[in-house]
């Protein structure tokens, strides 16, 4: 199970270009999509562990990107289901100037385009709410007391959410009770998902990438929302080079880090994800889990058998293991802990699960 990230944005904003950059893909930008691709989650600690443990296989965590292709208001059916199931949304906003590629709105305007896509996401949620409110109305007619109460509570809550959406407040910004959050999760609302705004700049704008990003972030740093500038076209071209050549180019353009790495890192932060590492049968693997996940659920991330037959987890922190230099040394020093089902997995934990099936 990987993390799923949906890519949306206005027509010709550079969605497929950014998708290619993120997944090192070669999707045809002329084809609308949807395009689906996998990116390996950058995790420097995984390589360090591999250097120490010398396993046969080293397996990074994966993120799955879905370039929806079509405008939000035009999607339905399977594609809409795909989008509503993603964990986070990337909104690609065009900042590059190119006369030969007409802008759908006739001119470049980053703020307007961010607002337009936010509205489209809100419309999608409003449509779901309207439909549900209609159904609640019908059900209320024949409902008996206990059921009635639940329906009325839901009606009341959804009406409040609707009012907020109409005032352009996305669901991700609402402070919800646990109960309300659970109701929201059932609906998979688009504005409830963390949002990464990717401002797609042209190569000639690279010197302004940082100041532009800082300026835009002063308006758009909202809860569960981040913004980065990225040159999709250049990043896409760089994925075709080997690492050292790509680094060389980045240095030349004054880019510190790959756009792919930054985008994934920010998505991780937005989603509240942490990494742990499993070591077993000559494999070292990195996994992504929600912060505050317990050991038995973390085991379930690897395999449902491991969750069902969970006995114990043998755990050491990445830092402790690195300090010891080997598992044998860590064991000698008593740094390998045995933990039970309810142990809360920490970022960087190196875990061997003991289970029986």
Ligand X SMILES: Nc1nc2c(ncn2[C@@H]2O[C@H](COP(=O)(O)OP(=O)(O)OP(=O)(O)O)[C@@H](O)[C@H]2O)c(=O)[nH]1
Which residues of this chain interact with Mg ion, rule CB under 5 A? Answer: 15-16
Peptide bond into 333 cis (omega under 30): no
Q: Of 48, 101, 185, 344, which one interacts with ligand X (CB under 6 A)?
A: 101
Contact criterion met (CB below 8 Å) for 268 and 64: no
8 A C-beta contact, residue 294 and residue 341: yes
Among 172, 193, 226, 233, binds ligand X (CB under 6 A): 233
- Is residue 60 within 8 Å of residue 46, measured between CB atoms? yes
202 binds ligand X (CB under 6 A): yes
Complex with ligand X: residue 11 or 352, whichever CB lies closer: 11
Phi first, then psi, for residue 85 (nearest 5°) are: -90, -5
Contact between 24 and ligand X by CB under 6 A: the answer reads: no
Residues 240-259 that bind ligand X (CB under 6 A): none
- If the CB atoms of residues 9 and 60 are measured against ligand X, the closer one turns out to be 9
Smallest distance from the beta carbon of 7 to ligand X, in angstroms?
A: 8
Q: What is the residue whose two structure tokens read 């037959």?
A: 309
Q: What is the DSSP letter of 42?
A: P
Q: In what order do the strands lie in the sheet with 57-59?
A: 57-59, 283-290, 273-280, 349-355, 310-317, 337-339
Which residue is associated with the tokens 């930008």? 29
For residue 120, the minimal CB distance to ligand X (Å) is 13
Q: Which of Mg ion, ligand X, none has residue 189 at its interface (CB below 5 to 8 Å by kind)?
A: none
Shortest Å distance, C-beta 95 to ligand X: 8
C-beta neighbour count of 78 within 10 angstroms = 9
Residue 232's binding partner out of Mg ion, ligand X, none, with CB under 5 to 8 Å set by partner kind: ligand X
CB of 86 to Mg ion, least distance (A): 17
**Which residue, chain included where needed, has tokens 């809409």?**
80
40 binds ligand X (CB under 6 A): no
- Residue 69 in the binding site for ligand X (CB under 6 A): yes
Stretch that binds ligand X, among 15-23, 163-171, 300-308, 342-350 (CB under 6 A): 15-23
Whose Cβ is closer to ligand X: residue 21's or residue 321's? Answer: 21
**Contact between 262 and ligand X (CB under 6 A)?**
no
User: Looking at 32-106, which runs of residues are DSSP E strands?
Assistant: 35-40, 57-59, 62-67, 88-94
Window contacting ligand X (CB under 6 A); options: 7-15, 111-119, 185-193, 215-223 = 7-15
**Residues 317, 318, 321, CA angle at the centre, nearest 5°?**
85
Strand 195-200: give its sheet, edge to edge.
35-40, 62-67, 3-9, 88-94, 195-200, 225-230
Select the binding partner of residue 231 from Mg ion, ligand X, none (C-beta < 5 to 8 A, by kind): ligand X
Q: By CB under 6 A, which span of 5-13, 76-84, 126-134, 346-354 interacts with ligand X?
A: 5-13
Q: How far is the CB of 156 from ligand X (least distance, A)?
A: 39
Round the CA-based radius of gyration of the chain to a whole number and report it. 23
Choose the binding region for ligand X from 11-19, 169-177, 191-199, 346-354 (rule: CB under 6 A). Answer: 11-19
**What angle (nearest 5°) sits at the alpha carbon of residue 212, between those of residues 208 and 213?**
120
Instruction: Determine, following the binding rule CB under 6 A, whether residue 116 of this chain makes contact with ligand X.
Output: no
Which residue ranges make up the site for ligand X (CB under 6 A)?
A: 9, 11-17, 29, 32, 69, 96, 98, 101, 200, 202, 231-233
């Amino acid at each position: 199970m990987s993390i799923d990230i949906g890519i949306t944005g206005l027509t010709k904003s550079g969605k497929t270009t950014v998708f290619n950059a993120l997944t090192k893909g070669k999707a045809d930008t002329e084809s609308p999509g949807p395009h689906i691709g996998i990116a390996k989650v950058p995790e420097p600690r995984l390589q360090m562990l591999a250097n120490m443990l010398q396993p046969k296989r080293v397996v990074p965590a994966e993120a799955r990107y879905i370039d929806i292709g079509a405008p939000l208001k035009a999607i339905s059916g399977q594609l809409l289901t795909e989008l509503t199931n993603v964990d986070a949304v990337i909104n690609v906003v065009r900042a590059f100037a190119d006369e030969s590629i007409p802008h759908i709105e006739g001119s470049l305007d980053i703020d307007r385009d961010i607002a337009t896509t936010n509205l489209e996401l809100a419309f999608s949620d409003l449509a779901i709410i309207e439909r549900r409110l209609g159904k609640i109305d019908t059900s209320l007619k024949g409902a008996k007391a206990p059921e009635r109460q639940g329906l009325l509570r839901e009606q009341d809550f959804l009406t409040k959410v609707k009012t907020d959406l109409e005032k352009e407040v996305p669901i991700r910004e609402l402070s919800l009770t646990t109960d309300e959050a659970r109701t929201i999760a059932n609906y998979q609302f688009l504005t409830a998902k963390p949002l990464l705004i990717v401002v797609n700049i042209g190569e000639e704008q690279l010197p302004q990438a940082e100041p532009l990003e800082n300026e835009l972030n002063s308006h758009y740093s909202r809860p569960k929302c981040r913004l980065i500038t990225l040159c999709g076209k250049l990043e896409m071209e760089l994925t075709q080079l080997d690492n050292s050549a790509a680094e060389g180019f980045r240095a030349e353009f004054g880019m510190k880090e790959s756009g792919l790495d930054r985008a994934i890192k920010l998505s991780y932060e937005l989603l509240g994800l942490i990494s742990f590492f499993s070591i077993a049968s000559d494999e070292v693997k990195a996994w992504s889990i929600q912060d505050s996940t317990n050991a038995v659920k973390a085991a379930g991330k690897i395999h449902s058998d491991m969750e069902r037959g969970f006995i114990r987890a043998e755990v050491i922190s990445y830092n402790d293991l690195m300090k010891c230099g080997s598992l044998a040394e860590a064991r000698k020093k008593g740094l390998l802990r045995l933990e039970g089902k309810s142990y809360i997995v920490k970022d960087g934990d190196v875990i061997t699960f003991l289970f029986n099936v």
